[in-house]
Every structure is written in C-alpha cells, then in structure tokens.
Structure 1
Amino acid sequence: MVERTLRPAPHVTRPTKTSTPKLFVLDTNVLMHDPTSLFRFEEHDIYLPMLTLEELDNHKKGTTEVARNARQASRYLDELVTAASAISPGNISAGIPLKPMSGGAASGRLFVQTETITTALPASLAGGKADNQIIAVVMHLQQIHPKRSVILVSKDINMRIKSHALGIAAEDYFNDKVLEDTDLLYSGMRELPADFWDRHGKGMESWQQGGHTFYRVTGPMSQGLLLNEFLYQEGKGPGETPLYAIVKEVSGRTALLQTLKDYTHQKNNVWGITARNREQNFALNLLMNPDVDFVTLLGQAGTGKTLLTLAAGLMLTLEFKVYS
C-alpha cells in the first residue's frame, strides 16, 4: 500500500514565503500531454477556461495516447469536483483544493471558469479561434488580478508567441521527471482529519458486535469514502488509543465504519506471523476476511506482501477450513 506522491513539473519556480502564488492558465494540450499536470504546480493555483474543458471532451474518443490522456484528465477533474461538492456544495468558484488528491505535492487550488468573459481582443486576432479565446481569458484574469502573476501554459509554440506579443506571460510545459505508475494508484487508506468527529459525531450510532465496534456517522466527508477503504486517526498523546477502521457501507452522507482486528498482537497471530506496522495490519484484515474475494497489495520488496499472503492462505485453509 502506498500513498500517492507526485513530483512537480520542473519549470515551476518556488517563490519566497512572502510572494503571492502564481495563477497558471492551462491550455488543453497540456492536459492531453500529461493528465497529472493538475498536481504539478506546487503551491500555485490553476485556472481552466471553459473552452479547455470543451476541447478536452472532444478528444476523449479513440484509442490513441491523446484520447487516453484526455479521459484520464477528465476523471481527475470529476474526482476533484465531486470531492469539493461533497464538502461545500455549489462553491466551486472559490477554488478546489488540490492537496488531498496530490498527496500533498500540490497545495494550491483549481479554478474553473464559471462566468462569461467579454474581454476585447486586438483586431488582428479572430475572436472565434479557440486559441484566441483562451488568450482573452488570460487577459481578463490579468485585469481582475493586477497584483498577481497570471501565466498561460501551453505546448503550442504559436500560441505562446502570440501571447508574448500581447504582453502576456506564457510558458511551455515540461515534465521531464519520471512519474511512477504507483504514484497514481489508489492507496486504500485515508487519514481522518482532527475535526472528523466534531463534524460527523452529531447523531452518531455505535454498537459492538463480533468483537468489533461499529460507528454509523453522518457528515460531508462520508460521501467521498469508499467501500473497504481503511481509515485511521493516530492518538494525539501518550497512552491515547489510535483509531483503525474500515468502511463497510456508504449511503449518501452516511457511512458505516467498523474497527479492525489488531493483528499486531501476538494473540491474533496469523500462522505465527504478526503485523509489524499499520499497513501490514490493514493488509491482514483484508486477507483474513473471506467476504473479500480479491486483494491487491503493493509495496517495495521486503515489506511482507508474499509472507502475509501465504500466512493468511495457510491459516484460512488448514486452520479455519474456509477453503479446501
């Protein structure tokens, strides 16, 4: 199990602590070149013109690399908007935080065009051309954010030349650093924020059954939870018991959480094996659950994937007689 960690695009310059984050306006070809570009601008903000979204939609069909990237970019955007809507419905114009989905690599916000822009273009530029409409959006943003650096990012060299001629800052998008496939995979676990129980504890139901404690909670975060996703909240002080749970049900704004069996304790050993860390404990809770038909474990060599799997298989087959 791994957490998503994205490396930023190397063309972004880290500002000083006192500087204002930049606002990068992305051309469609940037997203089709690298769908993860959404998460590569560190503490800076990203702005997507409506035309960028429309062009992205027009390129989703097909089996080419461009089409696959367009579909992946659309999925990322859908996840971001869905998560933001669950927390603050109807408030996309305030910006969507990028930090949760980027594993902390991007701390800025994503802004999507939500208003009609009527900024006049020079007479030499045709208003109906897609590139020129995006340039008009950048000019509009420069007008409403005069003290902020607004930069167009595009793979189209001619578009960058036109932008420079109009006094608009424009950059190419470079992504020379390798992004491991594992960086994009679902980690299977999520840390609960410190105020989770304050926001979800009202009207909470709890009971014990079969050696587990169940919590039925209602709140904005519940909609974004996934079945069989592990949740954890470490103890704040010495002697405080951490919470390790798994999502059993999700229905609208309500979720059912079940505490885990502690496989770090010797009394719960699996074929003589005990979990040595949180992730191994999560893995054994899945591997030892006959109701879970398919488990995928991901990690570096030597982290115990094969050992845990064999131990669980032997225990369930020879000791518990679940399989024959």
Structure 2
Amino acid sequence: MPLPKIPTQLADKVDLTKEPKADYRQPSKKASPKKAETLAIPEVKVSQADEAITKTSTSTSKKMAKKTSTGERKLFVLDTNVLLHDPSSIFRFQEHDIFLPMVALEELDHHKKGMTEVARNARQVSRTLDDLCSEVNDLLAGIPLDCLGNKEATGQLWFQTSKLDDPLSIQLPDSKADNMILSVVQSLHNQFPARAVILVSKDINMRLKARALGLKAEDYLNDHSIEDSDLIYEGSVLLPDNFWTRHAKDMESWTQAGTTFYKIRGPLVNNFRVNEFVYFEGDNPLYAQVKEVSGKTAVLATIRDYTHPKNNVWGVSARNREQNFALNLLMNPDIDFVTLLGQAGTGKTLLALAAGLTQVLETKRFTEIIMTRVTVPVGEDIGFLPGTEEEKMQPWMGALEDNLEFLNTQARKDSSIQWERSLSKEIIQSHIKVKSMNFMRGRTFLNKFVIIDEAQNLTPKQMKTLITRAGPGTKIVCLGNIAQIDTPYLTEGSSGITYVVDRFKGWQHSGHVTLQKGERSRLADYASDAL
C-alpha cells in the first residue's frame, strides 16, 4: 500500500520566501533565508497572538475612552517611588483611574529583597496587586479598585499589556526606567487626547522632565497631613482683647486642688480643642488650658507656673510662655502623648529629659527613660559601628549627652534640691536606655517614659509603629523640627510628626506645643533666623 503524501497545509499558509510580518518586539529586519526556516512556525503563532492582543487593546482603549469622554475622570500613571513610599497609594485617587507601567513592576521586583522599609513596602504592593488580579478574570478590561473593600476608590486599575513607546520630543536614553515611564505617559497622552493623563512621582527631576516634554506631572500629595506648614496646629492661641466682655456672661468659676476653673460661653468656644492652651496678656493676664468642650460651652483651667524657681523641674525653670506650656504637658499624668515642635535651641530635648528624670527618680511614676531616634546622617555616612545596640546608638545621641551634662550641672548648683537630683551621672544614665528603632516592632513598653527625638525624619508608618508600642502607664514624647528634614521624599506636610500632630489634636490624653523662642544662645538664635 503506498504511503500517504506529506501534508502541505502549513507550508501553504507560510511563504518562507516572503519577508516575515513586522513585530513590535523586534525592529523590522529582512530575515535571511537560513533563519526564515527556523522562525517560520513561531512567527505564525506570534502574529496570531499579536492580532488578538491588538483587537483586545483596541476594545480596551475604547472602554477607557468611553468612560471618561467628559474628561472628569483622570488617568494617573504612578511612578515606582510613589508605590514604595505609600503601599496603599493606588487606593488614594477616589474616582480616578490608575495605570501601572510594566517597568514599574520590574522596579518593584528589584526592591522587594531585604528588611528595609522600602523592601517591606515593595512586598506589600506586590501582594495587594496580586489580590486585585485574583478578583477578575480579564485584566485587559480593567480591575475595579473597590473589589477588596476600599470603597473610597471607585476607579479602575490598568496594567500595561502592550508596547507603548511613542517617541518623545527630545531624544533620551531608552534604557533608563524613568525615560521608559515618560514614553508610556506620552503614548497614553496621544491615545486619549480628550483625557487628562497625569504622571504622579515623588522624584522632582522626573516631574521636571515630564513638564519639559509637555506632559502633566504632579507630586503625590495624599500623604500630606497639611498643604502648608503655616497651617500646622500650634497647640496654643492668643485670646483677643475683648475676650472677657464677649465670654464672661453667665460665666461660672470654682477652685479645686489649687486650680481655678472657668466655664464660659461665647463665639470662640467652637474653635477650642481639648488640652489646647489659651492665654491673655495684659493687666489681668490669663494662662489656661482647655479641659472640656461641650456644645457652646468650654471649661478652662489655670495652669501651673513653671517659670517660678520653686516649681522647677530637675533644676530647670521655663524661660518663656511656650516652655511653660510644654512642662505642663510633660508633668501631667493624664497626658499620655506629647508632641513638641520647634527650631534648634528652643529646649525640646532638655525639657523632656528634665521631666523624665523627675518622674523616674523622684515621683517614681515611670521605671526608666527610653530614648530613640531615626539614624539619618546629615552628611556622608561613617559606615558600620562596632559594639552593642546602645554603643552603636551613642554617636547619634550627642544631644542626650549634652543635656545630661547641663542637667547635672544645674543640680549641683542648686543647694536646695533633694538628694536624688545630686545623684552621680552613672546612676542617672542607668535609668536611661538608648534603643534603636530597627528593633521596636513587636515590643511593648510598660511604665516607661519614651522620648522619640528627631521625629521629623520619621514617616507616618514608622511613627505608628513606635506609638503603638506603648503599654499601660507609658508616656510617649515626640520631638522634632520640621525645618530640618533629612529623609528623602519627606516634606513638612508629609512628615510623621506633622501627621501625628494633626491626628491627635483634640484627644483628651494628648497635647501639643510649638516652641517659638530659642533659648540656647544669642548666636544660635541669630543663626536660626539669618541662615
């Protein structure tokens, strides 16, 4: 029986003598006869896949354009640094859509290894994207951002599923990730001319390049607690001259445990916050703290005068109004969380240490002082440091040593102080523990006086990690100067200390004071203003 003929159906469809169809993954080249034979079958399959992708991409583009034909919903292209800075950033754009370039996913993969904050954020973003993708069957149709329960995000998430490399108006290196993202933004801008396509990046140079190319670019501002640093809650307010004439009607007053209380009514009551300080200077000065706000009435309580030497704290007396307010918060057992802002030399660390030593060694309210700070160098890093955890932290705690030396000197000068204040420096330091922030997760502090120095260099997430370590009987004091932020991508509005000041204002067990006047030296005061 004769053998059947070799089927020629595939050869009929593919003509190896013709030039293969151009593919977007490769530059258009004329195939050589030798390579054409080996690439013939894969070329057919790739061409069929490309045709399907092209049809799907076209229909997807029509869906994206149809939903936003009015131009109300914007399309935000996220840079990788936005995802690494805030892992939940894709849910912060309300009704607008999010587009993730493929190169951003590549950069996420490069940053996912390690134990740093950036690596943790990269892994969290990857897990979130994986959960979103598991909720839908067709990624090309878009992913509803509210499918995981984030009801405030009503837009859709789109991944880059085809090549988008429209030429830029300026020739830039194609191998750089930033330029690849700019090319994606340019392609989306050309594809949806009636829609606002905006690049969101924390990189200033990236935004500058985008604007130079005629593309819209914005900073990621959702992590900003406030838009202007001048709007930061100060913790104290000056009462107007006509305060008593407008608020003394039907006023009630009483005295309890040496403190005078005033129950007032008037137009300013609605602006008061619990634990906010109010003051009136003149012939009849008033320095009080808001204890309660209920409807149209408020209760004010006079504060203790720590400017008087008899009320000194570990030999330290308040030198100005704001320092007096700060010591009232630091020494109040009902206040669990205190934030102090101020420029260099205003006495933040000194007041916190003096209050801590008094309540640890005299009143025995706390068992010890724990001090920590973020290790961000001002200049070049000096590398790894030898020794134990506390020995490694000592170079970062120069402020602690300086203030302890001052407090010890003040204690020896005052002959009327109790014996506890004249303790040796070694005994005092034995009640002060210096800890690294890297090992705070999972810990619980019981009856501790915790001082977080240089808190302006902390992110909101790091601040949350530290504050949630507080156990029963613990007091946390955050010190910072938002004019000296050394952490990249953090600004005055997005700093962790700004975040907690805004979130804790008005809570009955927290207080805040912004220190205004420097008390270090006349040279330091002039340098802060002139430089």
**Coarse TM-score class (shorter-chain normalised):** 0.3 to 0.5
TM-score normalised to the size of structure 2?
0.29
TM-score normalised to the size of structure 1?
0.47
Specify the structure having the higher radius of gyration (Cα).
2
